[in-house]
């Protein structure tokens, strides 16, 4: 599943799942643009990957169309094309709807859903005529709900619907668009949530007990799935939502 001579953009690349995906695509032979609002973090990733392949860090906000447009243009200018887009950037704000501010609701949807729309809007024209692959990182929250996650669930459910519609609209352009729906992953977003709980250790024990495979996911598990979906090995897969959760949702959690 080599990606030699391919150019990829990964959003939310400064840490966690995004950084792992960027590193995996570089290892697969791709030239990678890492985009993140955390400019220091994405530049640090560039320093770590500097000797392993081509990596261009870009600081910007996925919810700002001008930032997105400039990033897509720089990607094409730097590397000559755009073949792969991984929409990974996301935030997670917790609270019931009655306790949510309008600003928090709008920011959640702006990053988690509007940001994907904007990157697809500007990247797809670059892929037309040559084909491409887009992977949107959704969540098991697209299919199951938990108390306090109304806004997050709405954004991730919307992302699965957007993925299906994009796949239908752009199949004739030879652009494949799929979603990955991770469960619990050992990454900063999960640790941030655990830190808000009264007893994080007990919560982790309960989480592990709900996984038929006996463990939570790793960043590498998600990066592996992305590597497959953007490769020629997945050339007949589009509009799919791949659940990567160690069987957690099968167990009814």
| 146 in active site | no
Active-site entry in 134, 152, 158, 246: 152
| Residue 178, CA distances (Å) to 10, 32, 146, 236 in order | 15, 19, 24, 11
Q: Quick one: the chain helix, strand, coil %, rounded to 5?
A: 50, 15, 35
The residues that bridge with 33 in the sheet, in sequence order, are 9, 56
What residue has token string 């990567």?
244
The C-alpha torsion from 130 through 230 and 169 to 249, rounded to 10°, is 180
**What angle is formed at CA 215 by the lines to CA 203 and CA 27, rounded to 5 degrees?**
125
Residues with Cβ within 8 Å of 133's Cβ and at least 6 positions away in sequence, in order, are: 83, 84, 85, 175, 176, 177, 178, 229, 230, 234
Q: Indicate if the alpha-carbon torsion angle 233, 141, 170, 117 is positive or negative.
A: negative
- What's the CA gap between 146 and 139, in Å, rounded? 12
**Phi, psi (degrees; rounded to nearest 5) at 236:** -115, 20
Cβ neighbour number for residue 130 with a 10 Å cutoff: 12
- What's the CA gap between 42 and 34, in Å, rounded? 6
* Three-state secondary structure call for residue 133: strand
| Catalytic positions | 152
């Amino acid at each position: 599943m080599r990606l030699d001579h391919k150019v990829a953009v990964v959003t939310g690349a400064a840490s966690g799942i995004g950084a792992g995906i960027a590193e995996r695509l570089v290892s697969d032979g791709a030239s990678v643009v890492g985009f993140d609002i955390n400019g220091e973090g994405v530049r640090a990733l560039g320093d770590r990957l500097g000797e392993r392949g081509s990596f261009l860090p870009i600081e910007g906000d996925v919810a700002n169309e001008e930032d997105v447009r400039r990033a897509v243009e720089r990607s094409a200018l730097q590397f000559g094309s755009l073949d792969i887009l991984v929409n990974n950037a996301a935030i997670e704000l917790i609270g019931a709807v009655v306790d949510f501010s309008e600003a928090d609701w709008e920011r959640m949807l702006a990053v988690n859903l509007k940001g994907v729309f904007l990157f697809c809007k500007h990247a797809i024209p670059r892929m037309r005529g040559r084909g491409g692959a887009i992977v949107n990182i959704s969540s098991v929250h697209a299919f199951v709900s938990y108390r306090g996650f109304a806004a997050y669930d709405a954004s991730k459910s919307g992302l699965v619907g957007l993925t299906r519609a994009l796949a239908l609209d752009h199949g004739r352009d030879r652009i494949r668009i799929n979603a990955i729906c991770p469960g619990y992953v050992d990454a900063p977003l999960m640790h941030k949530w655990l830190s808000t709980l009264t007893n994080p250790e007990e919560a982790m024990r309960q989480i592990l007990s709900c996984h038929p495979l006996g463990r939570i996911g790793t960043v590498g598990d998600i990066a592996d799935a992305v590597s497959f979906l953007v490769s020629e090995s997945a050339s007949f897969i589009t509009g799919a939502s791949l659940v990567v959760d160690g069987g957690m949702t099968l167990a009814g959690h």
